[in-house]
Amino acid sequence: MVAKYQAIVVGAGLSGSWVAKELCDQGIKTVMIDRGPDVVHLRDYPTASKHPWEMEHRGRISAREREENPIATQCYNYYEGSKHFFTKDAEQPYVQEKPFSWIRGYQVGGKSLLWARQVQRWSQHDLDGPAQDDFAIPWPINYKDIEPWYDRVEEFIGVSGEYDGLATLPDGKFLRSIGMNVVEKHFQETVAQNYKDRHVIYGRCAHLTEVKEIHRQQGRGTCQHRVICERGCPFGGYFSANSSTIPWAKRTGNLTIQAYSIVSHIIYDDRQEKAIGVEIINRETRERSQIYAEVIFMNAGTLNTNMVLMNSKSPRFPAGIGNDHQLLGKYVAFHNYRARLVAETGAFKDRVIDGRSMTNAYMPRWKNIHSLKEDFKRGYAVAFYAYRTYIEETTGVGEDLLKKMTKAKNFGLWQIDAMMMGETIPKFENHVRLHPSLVDKYGIPQLVINVDYDDNDQKMMEDFYQEMQEMFQKANFSNIRKIDSGQAPGLDVHHMGGARMGSDPTNSLVNKDSQIHSCKNIYVTDGSCMTSTGTQNPSLTFMALAARAANHALETYFK
């Protein structure tokens, strides 16, 4: 029996589930394919309600597991309560020509179960970046093209935010704010008093601080401030594909989920001059089969989408589908998270944090906005947060220990942490390609990754250190220390590019509507279509572009 649908979505994560939702809402019979298991909301969150003492290692990772997974265990979110949502290193080996930490979450829902849930919009300034400094190619779209889709996504997923009125970070459709703590507010006031060009704001996050009717229809409830989101939230308090878009699409009766299925390549019909389906490999049996459809959406995650496209060879496309100018896999970029500045303050000793917050303060980019004043291109944003350590007395045993642990709480000084989120420049040299002979256990060529930092990144880091140190000093913070994590690219998890968007088919892979220039019934609607990276967490933009492209397909192919 031939498996045939109207639309294929490759990848059942954050952006792919948005494509499925939009299509299924309009009656389009859609199959969403994922190489991992099906994770069903509520049913498949095994650690969501466990206390540390209910886990074998009290939440920690064993030395053996670290040894077996040197890449995955680098991620801050990887621990005993969340490790089942991470892809283990042995599942998909790849070649690191330069160090690259490829963090993956192969399951239905993807990394939407693991993401940091920060959702800042891009502004026109971000989209103007490549044209402004004449590096890479201009975006073929502007903010007004994306704005209604930002609105649509934010209202559906639920975003806690404040209205800041900044041209560099447009306001959106917000639920009430959780608010900042006393030290974050102090820093906000200090910056406002001393600088006109920079702002400290509340970091917008995809958490339900209140439930609107659209969220009730999804079956979601308010965030409980447990801050163990990466285990899966049984309340649906934060947005994940599993609790929101996927169940919504399934309720239409138009969605089929094909789990444990690895897409090897897209099938191109030379006679019809279009893509007609995909070939999949059953992850458990290794059996190969084909699925056919009128339209294909690539949402496998930036690097996997590049890999599938490169492996989709035919007489028309001997170097990979859409790759007429050998640009597929080139201009891969990411976010530079290496630089941090930490400090402490002896002020506010009478104040402690009440409860837990899922977000942080945020400083939108303020460098190279209206003119190129710096000796580096683009800019950086800053995540800023403050917390107070709790000192426990744990010596003794039995009744003695109990008395010491239940005595008046003893808090240390307020600790302050600022982290740079730098925009890296897409460069031809930063690329991925297929290895000519090495394959994985499914017979698919391994991905070769050649991505690195450059002088622009280093200059940006030095500027961050200098600027933040000055601001910390004005805020009377003490014991200021610079940190360079030295982490490899990839650990930021914000991989973008390789199939970039542009107006000119000779220097880009997809057009303004996310269609491959030379094969328009393939839409590339994840991070691989990004022309530049901006400084914001990119997930909101991925979702907005995916929803926009899905509706373009509805008008073009299914009207």
Other CB atoms within a 10 A radius of the CB of residue 355 amount to 7
Q: Please report, to the nearest 10 degrees, the dihedral formed by the alpha carbons of residues 144, 150, 155, 160 taken in order.
A: -120
The single-letter DSSP state of residue 409 is -
Task: Give tens-digit pLDDT for 141-170.
Answer: 999 999 999 999 999 999 999 999 999 999
pLDDT at 373: 86
Residue showing tokens 């200098």: 466
Contact 350, 372 (CB under 8 A): no
Over residues 252-260, mean pLDDT: 98
Q: Is the pLDDT of residue 140 over 70?
A: yes
Question: Residue 442 in 3-state DSSP?
Answer: coil
State the burial class of residue 88 (Cβ atoms within 10 Å of its Cβ: 0-12, 13-18, 19+): middle
For residue 209, the Cα-to-chain-centroid distance in whole angstroms is 21
Residue type at position 76: Y
Q: Is the pLDDT of residue 406 over 90?
A: no
Contact 265, 308 (CB under 8 A): yes
Q: Is the pLDDT of residue 400 over 80?
A: yes
Sequence spans of domains, the chain: 166-203+335-423+453-488
Residue showing tokens 């859409």: 322
Question: Residue 116 in 3-state DSSP?
Answer: coil
- Backbone φ and ψ for 444, nearest 5 degrees, come out as -90, 135
Distance CA 120, CA 169 (A): 7
Q: How does residue 389 score in pLDDT terms, banded at 50, 70 and 90? A: confident
Distance CA 89, CA 102 (A): 9
Among 62-76, 132-146, 445-459, the minimum mean pLDDT is found in 132-146
Distance CA 308, CA 281 (A): 13
Distance CA 454, CA 240 (A): 34
pLDDT at 97: 98
Mind giving me the DSSP string for 28-53? --EEEE-SS----TTTT-TTTT--GG
Percent of all residues in the chain with a pLDDT value above 70, rounded to a whole number: 99
Question: Residue 140 in 3-state DSSP?
Answer: coil
pLDDT at 279: 98
Distance CA 360, CA 184 (A): 8
- Backbone φ and ψ for 363, nearest 5 degrees, come out as -115, 110
pLDDT at 1: 61
Q: What is the mean pLDDT of the chain?
A: 96
Q: Is the pLDDT of residue 390 over 90?
A: no
CA distances from 384 to 352, 394, 405 (A): 17, 31, 31
Residue showing tokens 């089969």: 289
Q: Is the pLDDT of residue 303 over 70?
A: yes
Angle between helices 143-157 and 539-557 in degrees, nearest 10: 100
Other CB atoms within a 10 A radius of the CB of residue 41 amount to 21
pLDDT at 72: 98
Q: How does residue 475 score in pLDDT terms, banded at 50, 70 and 90? A: very high
Angle between helices 539-557 and 14-25 in degrees, nearest 10: 30
Contact 322, 306 (CB under 8 A): no
Residue type at position 162: E
Say how many CA atoms lie within 13 Å of 165 toward its Cβ. Answer: 0
Over residues 50-58, mean pLDDT: 93
| pTM of the entire predicted model | 0.96
Radius of gyration over every alpha carbon of the chain, rounded to an integer in angstroms: 24
Closest CA to 18 of 112, 83, 106: 112
Over residues 200-209, mean pLDDT: 98
Over residues 33-47, mean pLDDT: 97
Other CB atoms within a 10 A radius of the CB of residue 432 amount to 27
Residue showing tokens 């890479």: 136
Task: Give tens-digit pLDDT for 60-103.
Answer: 999 999 999 999 999 999 999 999 999 999 999 999 999 999 99
pLDDT at 15: 98
- Backbone φ and ψ for 195, nearest 5 degrees, come out as -140, 140
Q: Is the pLDDT of residue 126 over 70?
A: yes
Q: Is the pLDDT of residue 404 over 80?
A: no
